Amino acid sequence: MAILIKGGEVVSADKSYRADVYCNNGIIEAIGENLDVPAGTEVIDAGDLLVMPGGIDPHTHMQLPFMGTVASEDFFTGTSAGAAGGTTSIIDFVIPNPQQPLMDAYHQWMEWAEKSATDYGFHVAVTWWDESVYEDMGKLVHDHGVNSFKHFMAYKNAIMAEDETLINSFTRCLELGAMPTVHAENGDLVYHLQRKILERGITGPEGHPLSRPSEVEGEAANRAIRIAQALNVPLYCVHVSCEEALHAITDARNNGQRVYGEVLAGHLEIDDSVYQNENWEYAAAHVMSPPFRPKKHQDALWKGLQSGNLQTTATDHCCFCADQKAMGKDDFSKIPNGTAGVEDRMSVLWDAGVTTGKLTPNEFVAVTSTNTAKIFNMYPRKGAIEVGADADIVIWDPKGTRTISAKTHHQNIDFNIFEGRTVTGIAVHTLSQGKVVWTEGDLRTVKGAGKYVKRPAYSSAFEAVNKMRIHNEPKAVKRS
């Protein structure tokens, strides 16, 4: 089915201009003024609207088995909710249990993801180490289009990767040209603080941020960055939530190190006062890691995004409903960690970023789509309005408004962290693979229509790093 998007303003990461966009067979086939198209082509009038690359959320956890339960959003409901908000691709996480072969976990997640409505890829977590993990990382990169590996520095006695594992895995990533990524929190310190706070009799959700102060994240971010520096491997830090981690990234970048940082819409816009709420359910619904932070961190994160020291925005979409959160009724450390946002990220970012002048529309496209496509080597297939790119497009009303609510959202969760917020900037139509999946409030996603996106290794970041390595290769001193 061919579609002509007529008369809109095309907004990419690098330029804005008025043009028609013609999509056929899932691809953008032509861009230009007053395009001639075959009779019978469906026309979408975009006269007052912006035509942008569909959002890419590089950090989601659909139907994740975690902390004794399973996230309530599956790959169909989650990607559909994303489409309603203008997001057309996700990168989710395969998370093997310790000792579980990586390939087993990968096949399990691939099966779960078959019902996705829009395109998806996977980062694979390295939660333990032996020779088989080394081998499987190679298979995943060479045969399965995985080019990024995740390391949880938190969640002790579960999925936490010790320093030795980080070193082994980062080294393997470098060999393979794959991007190591980290959830930076010092898991030993979190464990210690959780015990201490519980001993003091603090059992409610207010204990959660007390057990994970910003130093916990700053230390781990700094450690991961230093390990990456010593091994000369690029690094991507997921959900940077505090000044300390941002400063570690900024210092490393100023020092010529290739370190990337992701920030969540939630961390930009919500502060830690939510944990003081007298309603247990409300406070528990905000339990995620890293936690929401005091306001000064939000200001710093916005500056990080504006300055380019943080390049991507995500959600860490990981839904647990009230009955699941209740598992931690008597002990905050047992509240399943996670909040939702895949549907709202784009609107919240436009509302808080573009309408305030913090971001230009082009910068908005960069941080919601293009930069992720580049860092994870999907560009320009994704993240671009270009001839030959996938027709994953959001047609955006920059002045349209909607009020966010769990009563009306499409996410499979009974709570919304942005509840009651009226946002300016909304997805009017969303195209996935050249098909309309969301139009003026009508969600038309199809279970199983999403395709797995293979992401080759050896992005330009690695070519540069490898050049640096070769250039700086140490030599033994010749002695007679």
Residue pointed to by tokens 């603090």:
202
Binding-site partner at residue 374 among ligand DUC, Zn ion, none, CB < 5 to 8 Å by type:
none
**Positive or negative, the Cα torsion across 428, 433, 437, 439?**
positive
3-class DSSP state for residue 226? helix
SS (H, E, C) 22-52: EEECCEEEEEECCCCCCCCCEEEECCCCEEE
Minimum distance, C-beta of residue 183 to ligand DUC, in the bound complex (Å): 5
- 212 vs 374, which CB is nearer to Zn ion? 212
With CB atoms as reference, the residue minimizing the distance to ligand DUC is 288
332-361 binders of ligand DUC (CB under 6 A): 337-338
With CB atoms as reference, the residue minimizing the distance to Zn ion is 183
Of 301, 272, 313, nearest in space to 85 by CA: 313
Phi and psi at residue 64, to the nearest 5°: -70, 125
How many angstroms separate the CA atoms of 249 and 224, rounded?
A: 10
Minimum distance, C-beta of residue 290 to ligand DUC, in the bound complex (Å): 8
How many angstroms separate the CA atoms of 244 and 186, rounded?
A: 13
Number of residues that bind Zn ion (CB under 5 A): 2
Is residue 136 involved in binding Zn ion (CB under 5 A)? Answer: no
3-class DSSP state for residue 251? helix
- 313 vs 377, which CB is nearer to ligand DUC? 313
* Binding mask of the shown chain, residues 155 to 194, with x at each position contacting ligand DUC by CB under 6 A: ----------------------------x-----------
Is residue 316 involved in binding Zn ion (CB under 5 A)? Answer: yes
- 183 vs 421, which CB is nearer to Zn ion? 183
Minimum distance, C-beta of residue 288 to ligand DUC, in the bound complex (Å): 3
Is residue 44 a contact partner of residue 4, using CB atoms and an 8 Å limit? yes
DSSP state letter for 418: T
Minimum distance, C-beta of residue 305 to ligand DUC, in the bound complex (Å): 20
Q: List, in sequence order, every residue forming a beta bridge with 52; answer none if it has no partner.
A: 394
How many angstroms separate the CA atoms of 443 and 432, rounded?
A: 12
Binding-site partner at residue 338 among Zn ion, ligand DUC, none, CB < 5 to 8 Å by type:
ligand DUC
* Binding mask of the shown chain, residues 259 to 298, with x at each position contacting Zn ion by CB under 5 A: ----------------------------------------
Interface residue with ligand DUC among 269, 316, 343, 363 (CB under 6 A) is: 316
- 322 vs 387, which CB is nearer to ligand DUC? 322
Q: List, in sequence order, every residue forming a beta bridge with 89; answer none if it has no partner.
A: 56, 119
- 153 vs 174, which CB is nearer to ligand DUC? 153
Is residue 288 involved in binding ligand DUC (CB under 6 A)? Answer: yes
End-to-end Cα spacing for the chain: 75
Hey, what's the torsion of the CAs at 458, 129, 188, 199, to 10 degrees?
Answer: 130
Is residue 78 involved in binding ligand DUC (CB under 6 A)? Answer: no
**Half-sphere exposure in the Cβ direction for 191 (13 Å, CA):** 10
Is residue 61 involved in binding ligand DUC (CB under 6 A)? Answer: yes
How many angstroms separate the CA atoms of 263 and 439, rounded?
A: 28
Is residue 382 involved in binding ligand DUC (CB under 6 A)? Answer: no
CB within 8 Å of 134: residues ≥ 6 apart: 168, 172
Q: Which residues bind Zn ion (CB under 5 A)?
A: 183, 316
Q: Which residues bind ligand DUC (CB under 6 A)?
A: 61, 66, 183, 288-289, 316, 318, 337-338
